[in-house]
Amino acid sequence: MTPKNATWRATLLSSAAIALGLAVSGAMAQENPADHGDDASAAYQPSMTTLGQIQVEIPGRKPGDPVMTSSEYQKANTIYFERCAGCHGVLRKGATGKALTPDVTRENGFEFLKDFITYGSPAGMPNWGTSGDLSEDEIDMMARYVLLDPAIPPEFGMSEMRDSWKVHIAPADRPTEKMNDWDIDNLFSVTLRDSGEIALIDGASYEIKKVLSTGYAVHISRISASGRYLFVIGRDAKVNMIDLWMESPDTVAEIKVGAEARSVETSKFEGFEDKYAIAGAYWPPQFVIMDGDTLEPLRIKSTRGMTYDEQSFHPEPRVAAILGSHYKPEFLVNIKETGKIMMVDYSDIEALKITEINAERFLHDGGLDSTQRYFLTAANARGKVVVVDTKESSLVAVIETDGQTPHPGRGANIIHPTYGPVWATSHLGDDTVALIGTDPEGHPDQAWKMVQQLYGLGGGSLFVKTHPTSEHLYVDAPLNPDAEVSGSVAVFKVADLAEEEPEFTVLPIVEWAGIAEGQPRVVQGEFNKDGDEIWFSVWNAKDLESAIVVVDDKTLELKHVIKDPRLITPTGKFNVYNTRADVY
Ligand code: DHE
């Protein structure tokens, strides 16, 4: 298939907006300015579902407060946390969206707020009313809700963490050697998003060895440096620590680190293997360093503080990706709203030293270059990739990706036929893939520059993937509204990248899975340990059939389809070896 031209791309993006219910009214669509957030990225905003369930008190009444019952306030609060807090902030002080504190909302008034919620705005506010997402009564209630003081969800400090902390099997009672015949290094931990579970699947036989219960809407898995312990975090901030040496691997410790979270990681530097785990929270804004054997919480660090640029106080900067450095005893912690990367030295956690790098706001996900020295991470709402040198603990570059909302996952490292080692990211908001030079020694002219832009299948891409032994670069597009696009994957042959407009092959993954019902989305390729096959999740609604499709990396042919009633909403897949060794 040849790359698509710009007109085709524009059409696809506007259809994305309509399918996602983001820019519905005709009037809005016509005046749709360039910065209108009407693509898949606008819908890909955090939903604070756990926070939404917390019972809150209606704030003390002030003169002029609108009438609102406690039950209405609770209901409105749930809607706010699930649908609005991702952009406007838990405390309504603004994030990618505007501040909605009473000083602002009262200035605008009830009628204005009602219209705003109903029709949305060209600056990116979805049209909750005309899209049918909220009823007239709900909009009335939400307009009154934002006129009142914000609800402040509870903090979650050491005593709450310790109360939630459970060691099911103490280290002394665990096996001293591996007690099963599993090939742990080639095991995949697969997120079963909507059932709050992970499936452990053998990479050679495709057998589901075990399904384990984890946190709510479980998000990612990471693995200890030795490969023994698997850490899984749910959106409810619950961390499960699973011992893969047990006869039947199971959770040996668990803890809650807050109310909302997305990231977990372990210490990887020589001498500190398996010593610590770390988890970052969206609420409260903090991270915690835990004992690597038991998850005992040791040190909590709040991330509240000044934005890197304006140096104004931000009360709730969320913790996004966390990465364990291979060069120093450090965790790299992305602080989203303040735009800082904290390099947290864990060699003495009683005297915690943090190098704070001024990066860019709205840091999200990222990964290492092929030498594992440089961390490349997306400031997604700013369309940039930030590069940090983990050896020198310094900022190297902030690069425009010339696409809308870069979303790399951990990215993909390939040896480009012209530019040498490069790292790739795709984009949520359009079909572009940016290739960034990562070899300051061998290719100094290309280092930390975007050297090439590729065109993939369409907007709504979340992840790219390759493997050191692979000659291919895979690009998904799960959030694209077109079922054919979201059900397929684009594959570039690395050797072809020397051409000006490289072509790609389309793999019809959903068709191969043989699933006709629903609009299953193909998401996140993950290689097996040897790098000769890549697995894709076919992510359907929770009451419909999903699957995992295994592709032969050499021939690009279908190798196997894993189907099982237990595979409910599979999304992320984490091969134990590739995840612990940062191979991607
Ligand atoms: Fe993710 C990684 C946050 C929605 C699948 N996701 C991450 C990371 C963050 C994040 C901060 C990096 C973790 C790290 O490396 O330490 N994700 C968020 C959100 O805030 C967001 C946008 C909305 C939300 O409310 O959670 C969100 N993510 C999703 C999904 O809808 C996905 C597609 C399906 C799912 O399972 O929820 C999804 N996110 C993933 C996956 C990774 C991830 C598979 C790990 C990729 C990797 O290769 O490491």
pLDDT of 337-371, one tens digit each? 999 999 999 999 999 999 999 999 999 999 999 99
| 87 belongs to the catalytic site | yes
For the CA of 263, the closest atom of ligand 1 is 16
| 364 belongs to the catalytic site | yes
pLDDT of 295-312, one tens digit each? 999 999 999 999 999 999
Does residue 336 line the site of ligand 1, with CB under 6 A?
Answer: no
Residue from 28, 48, 68, 84 carrying the catalytic annotation: 84
Strands 305-306 and 313-314: antiparallel
For the CA of 265, the closest atom of ligand 1 is 16
Q: Is the pLDDT of residue 35 over 60?
A: no
What separation in Å is there between the alpha carbon of 262 and the centre of ligand 1? 7
Does residue 223 line the site of ligand 1, with CB under 6 A?
Answer: no
Q: How far is CA 195 from CA 216, 252, 435, in A?
A: 8, 20, 36
Structure-block tokens of residue 403: 């696409």
Q: Whose CA is closest to atom 21 on ligand 1?
A: 46
Q: Whose CA is closest to atom 3 on ligand 1?
A: 262
What separation in Å is there between the alpha carbon of 104 and the centre of ligand 1? 32
Question: For residue 28, what is the enclosing H or E element?
Answer: helix 26-31
Residue from 36, 314, 407, 443 carrying the catalytic annotation: 407
pLDDT at residue number 121:
86
Averaged over 195-217, what is the pLDDT? 96
pLDDT at residue number 481:
93
pLDDT at residue number 56:
82
Structure-block tokens of residue 223: 């693995």
Q: Is the sign of the CA dihedral 405, 335, 348, 272 positive or negative?
A: negative
Q: How far apart are CA 18 and CA 430, in angstroms?
A: 15
Q: How far apart are CA 418 and CA 35, in angstroms?
A: 34
Does residue 46 line the site of ligand 1, with CB under 6 A?
Answer: yes
| 472 belongs to the catalytic site | no
pLDDT of 210-260, one tens digit each? 999 999 889 999 999 999 999 999 999 999 999 999 999 999 999 999 999
For the CA of 47, the closest atom of ligand 1 is 25
| 443 belongs to the catalytic site | no
pLDDT at residue number 41:
57
What is the total residue count of the chain? 584
Computed over every residue of the chain, the mean pLDDT equals 91
| 125 belongs to the catalytic site | yes
CB-based contact 422:476 (threshold 8 Å): no
pLDDT of 109-126, one tens digit each? 999 999 999 999 877 788
pLDDT at residue number 169:
98
| 407 belongs to the catalytic site | yes
Q: Which of 201, 189, 279 is nearest to 242 (CA)?
A: 189
pLDDT of 143-182, one tens digit each? 999 999 998 899 999 999 999 999 999 999 999 999 999 9
Residue from 36, 48, 88, 161 carrying the catalytic annotation: 88
Does residue 52 line the site of ligand 1, with CB under 6 A?
Answer: no
CB-based contact 452:435 (threshold 8 Å): yes
SS3 for 34?
A: coil
Structure-block tokens of residue 179: 């007690």
